[in-house]
Amino acid sequence: MSHYNLEETAQPYQQQQLAGQFAQRFQLLAGNIEHVIRGKRDAVELALICLFAEGHLLIEDVPGTGKTTLARSIAASVDAEWRRIQFTPDLLPSDITGVSIFNQAYQKFEFHKGPVFANIVLADEINRASPKTQSALLEVMEERRVTVDSEPHQVPRPFLVVATQNPVDMDGTYPLPEAQLDRFLMQISVGYPDHASEVEVLKGGPSGPQVERLPVVARAADVAGMIDFATRIHVADPVYDYIVALCGATRNHPAIRLGASPRGSLALLRAARVKAAAAGRHFVVPEDVKALAVPVLAHRLIRTPDAELRELTAGQVLGEILTGMPVPQAV
């Protein structure tokens, strides 16, 4: 069992102060969103981790569980530009990215930006559009730019795509391509509220907390600063080894046909850094990695036909790997 020394993570007092400020702002945002999304603290915090890790979030669940409301609540809590795209079977790629239109007055083509040029983009029911339209998001999700007529156009920072989808066995849905799934930092499920939370929702009724009434608690510049700070969170060598070992184990598991790629390893590292900062720490501990392994890696794994027949989920496979893998211990 490997060990690492917490003294190696010692940083100046100012670094610890900044981590505390990060945690304060993070909890303020989470608490603000919880005024609308009742009893789903874990889902709210995972969504915010995606925002500060500069990743993208895929929320899969049955209709009516608050997928869209969660995305709108994040946008309402941050003083940033946001756009909603309702994905339908007849949606075209240019409806997302924008299009060049010939300006007769100036005798040249001008690019008219699509709704993807925003800080927070809500891609509602993303798997109701055709694969061709879904693929329009691939470049912008990875490189944060759109290329139209060989001209690159940068999207603003911060940039977060929150996509919602219904389960693929429902009518009118298309499965997302593996390459697109890999672009999402996390896939989560909101789930049904518990009894007490649903009672609170009913009591609130039409006059209860609504997304439109949420106060803004962070500016886009604040979010960008928090993103930059998260990239400086210290990671000890044994924690790097632990991340690589976890992802490597998915590639060799008999129930997995295609394991996590190096993009998955990087995603897990970025998310773990944010989780550490959200806890007020300026260093990552293995528990940060362990807590995020399933939401970050499960959707990237492709099971073997035998595992599918046995209804063995990717989350269960990761659970086995996490249980059987030694965790670095602090000394």
- Tens digit of pLDDT for each residue in 32-75? 998 888 888 899 999 999 999 999 999 987 777 777 788 888 88
Q: What is the number of other CB atoms lying within 10 angstroms of the CB of residue 87?
A: 22
Predicted pLDDT of residue 81: 84
DSSP 3-state assignment of 24?
A: helix
Does residue 6 carry a pLDDT above 70?
A: no
For residues 202 and 211, what is the distance between their CA atoms, to the nearest angstrom? 16
Does residue 276 carry a pLDDT above 90?
A: yes
For residues 71 and 25, what is the distance between their CA atoms, to the nearest angstrom? 18
Contact 246, 292 (CB under 8 A): no
For residues 26 and 227, what is the distance between their CA atoms, to the nearest angstrom? 11
For 163-180, give one letter per residue: b (16+ CB within 10 A) or e. bbbbeeeeeebbebeeeb
Does residue 280 carry a pLDDT above 70?
A: yes
Residue 89 class from Cβ within 10 Å (0-12 exposed, 13-18 middle, 19+ buried)?
A: exposed
For residues 41 and 26, what is the distance between their CA atoms, to the nearest angstrom? 12
Phi, psi (degrees; rounded to nearest 5) at 78? -115, 130
- Predicted TM-score of the model (pTM): 0.87
Residue ranges of domains in the chain, CATH in brackets: 3-200+212-330 (3.40.50.300)
Does residue 3 carry a pLDDT above 70?
A: no
Tokens 């993807």 sit at which residue?
Answer: 116
Predicted pLDDT of residue 234: 92
Split at pLDDT 50, 70, 90, the class of 1 is: very low
Summarize pLDDT for 110-142 with one digit per residue, the tens.
888 889 999 889 888 888 888 788 878 888 888
Does residue 270 carry a pLDDT above 70?
A: yes
Summarize pLDDT for 232-248 with one digit per residue, the tens.
999 999 999 999 999 99
Mean per-residue pLDDT for 300-328? 91
Summarize pLDDT for 161-209 with one digit per residue, the tens.
999 887 755 555 677 778 888 899 999 988 787 888 778 777 765 544 5
Closest among 56, 55, 44, 211 to 126, alpha carbons compared: 56
Predicted pLDDT of residue 206: 53
